[in-house]
Amino acid sequence: MEEILVYGHRNPDSDAICTSIAYANLRNILKNNERAVAVRIGELNEETKYALEYFGVDNIPYVDNVAGKKIIMIDHNERTQTANGFEEAKVLELIDHHRIANFVTAEPLKARVEPYGCTSTIVCEMYMEKNIVPSKKMAGMMLSAIISDTLLFKSPTCTQNDIKACEYLASIAEVDLNKYGMDMLKAGTNLSKKTLKEILNMDMKIFELAKGRFGIAQINTVNEKEPLEKKEEYLKEISAMIEELKLDGFMFVITNILTNNSVAIVSGEKVDVIEKAFSKSNDSIIELPGVVSRKKQIVPPLTNA
Ligand SMILES: [Mn+2]
């Protein structure tokens, strides 16, 4: 049987992983002449591990290169965020909730893009359109992705569709959204086993903007003082990444999931562009009060700057 790889972006988060699992499941329920296989192109973070363990879902295989494969892209479309060998793959479908940028395919494709808070909300609606009730496990995957991307509905990216889908999924999965959501988000703030370099790469995306190539990494925390105490060490690692990835600027955004404020450690030749987008840095630090969403509150001002 022909295999179709379903995968989310590099440095995968819960949306990239859990939505790939839920969508591969839906494809397999609907079609039987091909087999959709959810795969990942990076390591699971602690939050996603928590979600998979809680709902008893197996980890998915790691794939290094998608050349020659049929693929379905989830939760991303930018070239810098997708798999190696993308140019030699056949893109069947795209399901996403990000801006469209640097996305070129050789052939026509099916695309479903909505300005929702999470890709799983789109996939949940696809289940509903086909009159398929997701299993408890799949409902658990989708609601975990929605909680993660919307920070339990607190992100400005969150829409009524996300809340409605998440509440519907919680009724199937039989979880208390607030209790499970906080436990899952907190699991993601556990960085004790990680090196600084790993922390910076956990959720780092590269954006090609008019003014240059910017790396934006984001972590969730319940106490931003801890990472800020290691600022000088982080700046050293960031310099190495700027060199290695040929970046013009870098923002390391530390988001407090209890207060919903962020603070960023910034660096690079074009730090002035970052300052123009937000505010002057003080000793490589920019305060970002009320900012929790990279997609809606960081990338657009940086693009405009
Ligand atoms: Mn997402």
Q: Are residues 111 and 129 in the same domain?
A: yes
Tens of pLDDT, residue by residue over 158-204, are: 999 999 999 999 999 999 999 999 999 999 998 888 899 999 998 89
Q: What is the pLDDT of residue 58?
A: 97
- The CATH number given to whatever domain includes residue 175 is 3.90.1640.10
- E-assigned strands of 97-234? 110-113, 204-209, 212-221
Q: Which residue has the higher pLDDT, 97 or 2?
A: 97
Q: What is the pLDDT of residue 191?
A: 85
Q: What is the pLDDT of residue 96?
A: 98
pTM above threshold 0.85: yes
What separation in Å is there between the alpha carbon of 55 and the centre of ligand 1? 20
What separation in Å is there between the alpha carbon of 15 and the centre of ligand 1? 5
- The CATH number given to whatever domain includes residue 236 is 3.10.310.20
Domain that holds residue 165: 2-187
Whether residue 236 is predicted with pLDDT greater than 90 in this model: the reply is yes
Amino acid present at 280 = K
Tens of pLDDT, residue by residue over 204-227, are: 999 999 889 999 999 999 899 999
**Around ion ligand 1, which residues have CB less than 5 A away?**
15, 75, 149
What separation in Å is there between the alpha carbon of 149 and the centre of ligand 1? 6
Q: What share of the chain is helix, strand, coil (3-state, %, to 5)?
A: 40, 20, 35
Q: Are residues 120 and 148 in the same domain?
A: yes
Q: Which residue has the higher pLDDT, 203 or 116?
A: 116
Rounded CA separation 148/34 (Å)? 30
Q: Are residues 183 and 280 in the same domain?
A: no
146, 169, 187 - which closes a domain = 187
Structural domain count of the chain: 2
Going by C-alpha positions, the residue among 175, 218, 173 that lies closest to residue 199 is: 218
Q: pLDDT grade, residue 4 (50/70/90)?
A: very high
What separation in Å is there between the alpha carbon of 116 and the centre of ligand 1? 9
What separation in Å is there between the alpha carbon of 177 and the centre of ligand 1? 19
Tens of pLDDT, residue by residue over 26-40, are: 999 998 789 999 999
Q: Are residues 251 and 282 in the same domain?
A: yes
Q: pLDDT grade, residue 266 (50/70/90)?
A: very high
Whether residue 145 is predicted with pLDDT greater than 90 in this model: the reply is yes
> Average pLDDT for residues 82-104, to the nearest whole number?
94
Mean pLDDT estimate for the chain = 95
Number of continuous H segments (helices) and E segments (strands) in the chain: 11, 10
What separation in Å is there between the alpha carbon of 142 and the centre of ligand 1? 11
